[in-house]
Every structure is written in structure tokens, then in C-alpha cells.
Structure 1
Amino acid sequence: MWFSVLNVKFCGVDFKNPVLVASGTFGFGVEYDGIIDITRLGGLITKGLTLNKKEGNEGVRIHEVRGGMLNSIGLQNPGIDEFIEKHLQRMKEFKVPIIVNLGGSSIEDYVKGAEILDKTEIDMIELNISCPNVKEGGMNFGIKSSIAKEVVNRVREVTKKPIMVKLSPNAEDIVDMAVKCVEAGADAISLVNTFKGMAVDIYKRKPVFNNIFAGYSGPAIKPIALRMVYEVSKAVDVPVCGLGGIVDYKDAIEFIMAGAYLIQIGTANFINPRASIEIIEGIEKFMIEQNIKSLDEIRGII
């Protein structure tokens, strides 16, 4: 009976609960099949996809640090066409909403990718604007609001799918970034992506990663991510999906109280493959104990 109180309507899509798995931490779902009951999740977000296949970065790709981890995967993925041909149908068998995380190295890549995805049965596109803009010397699309707005605007022109823009915490002004993306046609905002960080191998006397910098995620970023979700939720009139350092149900409820409609579990999946299921059960138990009949009662309450 109580499980139904976790339902969330987000951009016209029905989610049985607010718990999603973050891009890049759950593959295409099958990697965790048999470990958890994936049909219990609120939804699946694919690993980051690009128009064409990418092999990813060379050298160390994941490095554990105090409070979390650094990753420099380099968006290794099979490309959109192969995803549709070999992975999408299997994901659909889990009978949960499917969100495709879409990246690109040029605006044209985003547009072409969105055009192809628009013809599929996916439920939503999560636009990853933390990708390096090759034509502009490698600066991420998600750093400057004007460039992010252009990407969202161009993608909005070619797809009727709901667009959720995933924001980088490294943006010059993340609130302004969110507002500009909504003005360009974003249906929702997700935040935050990884923070820019680095690590040094003191014995080799050089950076751990070939690219020097990597994406920092994990429990240590939660207070900052929570603050950003709170600020953006107050500034935009579209729903927000919160992520960043969520490891248990209490973290998840904090994000909901800060204004998030949905939340994503990322690094915690590597620490505890059952984290997402335990968080769903924890939220449900909390609501029963607190006599909360709907997440609407506590969302954005602070």
C-alpha cells in the first residue's frame, strides 16, 4: 500500500519512486541484473552515449581517494546506433523509464544524436553538457551559460522527448546556467555532475591520470551538491533531479526536502551494489514512521 506513495510524475513520465541510477555507474542495467531487482528502481539512466563509438581514455581510469573517487573514463561507449541495436530492447525489459545520457564534442554531435534518439522509445534525454567542446579548445559546454543555452536550444529544435540538462558544478554560475537552459527549452535540470579534481602519485612523482584532471564524486561532495540543488530549485520553474554524494535514504530525503523531485545514486553503486534498493526501502520506511502520505508534503519544504 505504502509503495504507491513514492510515485513521482516528472516531465510527463510516471516514476514508481524517485530513485534513479546515475549515468556511468550502472552501465545499461544488465551489469547489475541478478544482484538487485532492477524492476524496483524508479528509472534507468544509460552510461554516457555519443553519436559515434568512443574508446575512452588511456591509463588509470578510476582512483579511490578519501571521501570518494576520481574517474577519467573518457566517455567510453558503443555509440548511439549500437546502443539502439544491441542494448535498448534489453533495457526495456526491466519495465522502468529509460533516460539516455547524451554527450558530444560539438553542437552538431548533440543535434544529430538527439534526432536519432527522438525516433526511439526512450522516455527522456539527459543532456550532458559537461563534455569538452573540441571546436572551442576543449572548454566544457557546461562552463559558460551562453554556450550551454545554445546547445539546449539546438537540441530542443530536433526532439519532442523531454530534455533534462545535467549541470556541471564547475560552471561559472550554476544558477544562471540553469535559468538559461530553461529559457532555451529544458524540461528539467539534473545536478550535479562531478567536480574537477586531481591526484598525484608521490612515488612516481606525477599525476595519477594521463589527463591530469579527473571527475571527483562520492560522499564528500554531498553538502555542496545539496546547496546547489537547493539554489537551482528556487530559481527555476521546472522540476529538478538531485545527485551528488547520496549514499543512504537520509541523504536522499535531504535532497527532496531541498527541492528535488527525483534523485540519482552514483558512486554509492560501487560501494554497495544494493544501495539504490536500500534507499528506496529507507524512504518508504521513513514516510510510514513520519505519517507522510506523499513526497509532495516534504518536497522543497525548507
Structure 2
Amino acid sequence: MDMQVNFGGLFLKNPVMTASGTFGFGLEFAPYGDLTRLGGFVAKGLSLKPREGNPMPRIAETPCGMLNAIGIQNPGVEYFVTKALPYLPWREVAVIANLYACDAEEFGELAGVLAGEEGVAALEVNVSCPNVKEGGVAFGQDPAQIARVTEAVKKKAGNKHVMVKLSPNVTDIAVCARAAAEGGADSLSLINTLSGMAVDIRSRRPRIANVIAGLSGPAVKPVALRCVHQAVRAVDIPVVGIGGIASAEDALEFILVGAQAVQVGTANFLRPDFAFGLADEMEALLSEIGAASLDEFRGSLQLPL
């Protein structure tokens, strides 16, 4: 079965990608499988300058998931370009850079640095970052800011595919999806983590030093599916589904509601080899349920009249 995906000029040999922040720069997972078996992978979030991230503890296990408040710890875009990208098999698998910044201009500057890098197939714009100039409100919670950031990235991205990653922590995901599309996004990816927290009744302290953290894992899948379903119906650009994928069936649920491809996140921590075989498992399951092809199955959800 043909599992290739091609949308907005972004070619993937199969619909499986790994999510930013869960797969390092890819090299860290090379001992667990062949990176070229993936459709693509999204590097950990990159900023213009190195970031130390948030204080410890910054990860806590929850029922059917995990909380994290890493704080976009990363060595900066220059390190990625000079120390990581040259060693990645970017000619055989799509390498996608995830962008982190504190204002639209900085997002544009970061896109400009990566625009000329042949090994970067696409830019994923993390609009869940706080906009310092607007009092710390996350870009992803303000449709006007989403459009502004998207426009700033598109202006400097050259011929790179621009994917905007949306937050579920909003009143109406469809409004945010339309704002990104109107800003010029080539595709959307969603969802990012849900806001959550955990506390310890014995120490009477938060389990995360940052107090508020991002919830991911199987617990968020119903929310993610709902958001992807609504986004697909709201815009004409492709959508990539993320959130709680831990099996081939999970992945195909996102394809069924209309996603072009998927990203695997938290499952990479549980099984570092999981993503490498997922496309084969999806293909086998499609055959088992009688689907003629991936394209025929995509978006074929039968809604009640």
C-alpha cells in the first residue's frame, strides 16, 4: 500500500513523524532504529540563543500521561545548524525545525537563519510561546497574534514549508486555525500540550517547580481528536494530528478525521523504538480493515445526519 504523503510541497515517505521535544535532534534515537524509516521528525524547539530551561523538577508522571515544563531548553539554532543537521539523514527523511521566540520579529529572524539550510524541509512554528511584549499572553491564545507570527515567519522562510503548531488551551480552535491559514501557513499541527498541574499531599508542594505544566500522553487523545476534526473542517490547508498516539489504531483515528499525517510524542519516552515501526503497523491495519488506500481512508469519518 502506498503510504507516501505530499502536502504543501512537504514530501514524507509515510505519515509518521515524531513530535518536537520528544525526539531530541534525532541523533539521540538512532541507536533504537533507522531514522530513515520515519516520514519525518521534528527537532526539539530552537531559539536564537541557547536556553537553560526551567528549574527541576520539571517532569511528573500522571495517570495515562505525563506533565512537563522543560522550558524549551536548547543549545540555540547555530548549534543545530553546525553540530546536528550535518549528521542527520536529511536527504532521505524530512527534518523539520521547531521555532521558539518571544515576539513576531524574533520568530521572523529565526526563520531567516534556517531559510537557507538545505537540510531543513520545513519550519514548525510553536505559537504556544508567551508573547513578552503583550504581557506574557501566549501567541496561540490570540488569533491576531497567531496571524502576525505566521506572517513574520512566512516573510523570512524563503521556500520552506511553514507549519503552525496550535495550542488546545483556547476557546475555539477553529478560529485559531483560520488565523494561521490567513497568515499564510502551509499546514497546521495540533495539539500542543494541555495546561495542567500536580501536587504532593505529603510535602504540600507542587510536583513541578514551574507549578503549571503541559499534559501529554494517551489522556489527551480525545481532546486532540476533537481539535483536529474541527480544524480540518475550518480550513483548506493540511492538518497534522498530535496527541496521545500510542498504537497504529490511535494514529489511524487521526487520519480518519482528516489529518494528512501524525506526530508521535510521549510514546517515544515509553518505547524509544515505537515510531520506527508505526507506519508498517498502520499499513497492516489498513489492509486488515479493508481500506483501499491511505488516501481513501483519510477523512472518511461517517458523521450522523
TM-score normalised by length of structure 1? 0.96
CA–CA distance in structure 2, aligned partners of residues 107 and 238 of structure 1: 22
Pairs aligned (count): 299
Equivalent position amino acid for 2:229 in 1: Y
Decide whether the 8 Å contact of 1:240 with 1:261 is kept in 2.
Answer: yes
How far the C-alpha of 1:94 sits from its partner, in A, is 7.1
How far the C-alpha of 1:64 sits from its partner, in A, is 0.5
Q: What does 1:74-89 align with in structure 2 at a 5 Å threshold?
A: 74-89=71-86
1:284 is matched with 283
CA–CA distance in structure 2, aligned partners of residues 149 and 187 of structure 1: 13
SS at match of 1:34: helix
What is the aligned counterpart of 1:159 among 145, 157, 160? Answer: 157
Decide whether the 8 Å contact of 1:19 with 1:41 is kept in 2.
Answer: yes
1:132 is matched with 130
Range that drifts further, 51-60 or 88-97: 88-97
Unpaired runs of 5+ in structure 2?
Answer: none
Equivalent position amino acid for 1:85 in 2: T
What is the aligned counterpart of 2:58 among 33, 57, 61? Answer: 61
Q: For each residue in 1:82-124, what CA deviation from the matched residue of structure 2 results, as whole angstroms up to 9, or x when unmatched?
A: 1101011112357201110001112221011001111111110
Equivalent position amino acid for 1:115 in 2: G
Unpaired runs of 5+ in structure 1?
Answer: none
CA–CA distance in structure 1, aligned partners of residues 14 and 292 of structure 2: 13
Structure 1 residue runs of 4 or more that deviate by more than 2 Å after TM superposition: 92-95, 287-294
CA–CA distance in structure 2, aligned partners of residues 148 and 74 of structure 1: 20
CA–CA distance in structure 2, aligned partners of residues 107 and 25 of structure 1: 25
CA–CA distance in structure 2, aligned partners of residues 98 and 223 of structure 1: 28
TM-score normalised by length of structure 2? 0.95
Decide whether the 8 Å contact of 2:229 with 2:257 is kept in 1.
Answer: yes
CA–CA distance in structure 1, aligned partners of residues 39 and 60 of structure 2: 29
How far the C-alpha of 1:20 sits from its partner, in A, is 0.2
CA–CA distance in structure 2, aligned partners of residues 48 and 187 of structure 1: 19
Aligned residues: percent identity?
Answer: 46
* Root-mean-square deviation (Å): 1.2
CA–CA distance in structure 2, aligned partners of residues 94 and 209 of structure 1: 39
1:97 is matched with 94
Q: What does 1:189-268 align with in structure 2 at a 5 Å threshold?
A: 189-268=188-267
Q: What does 1:7-156 align with in structure 2 at a 5 Å threshold?
A: 7-92=4-89, 95-121=92-118, 122-156=120-154
CA–CA distance in structure 1, aligned partners of residues 288 and 173 of structure 2: 36
Decide whether the 8 Å contact of 1:38 with 1:94 is kept in 2.
Answer: no
CA–CA distance in structure 1, aligned partners of residues 138 and 194 of structure 2: 12
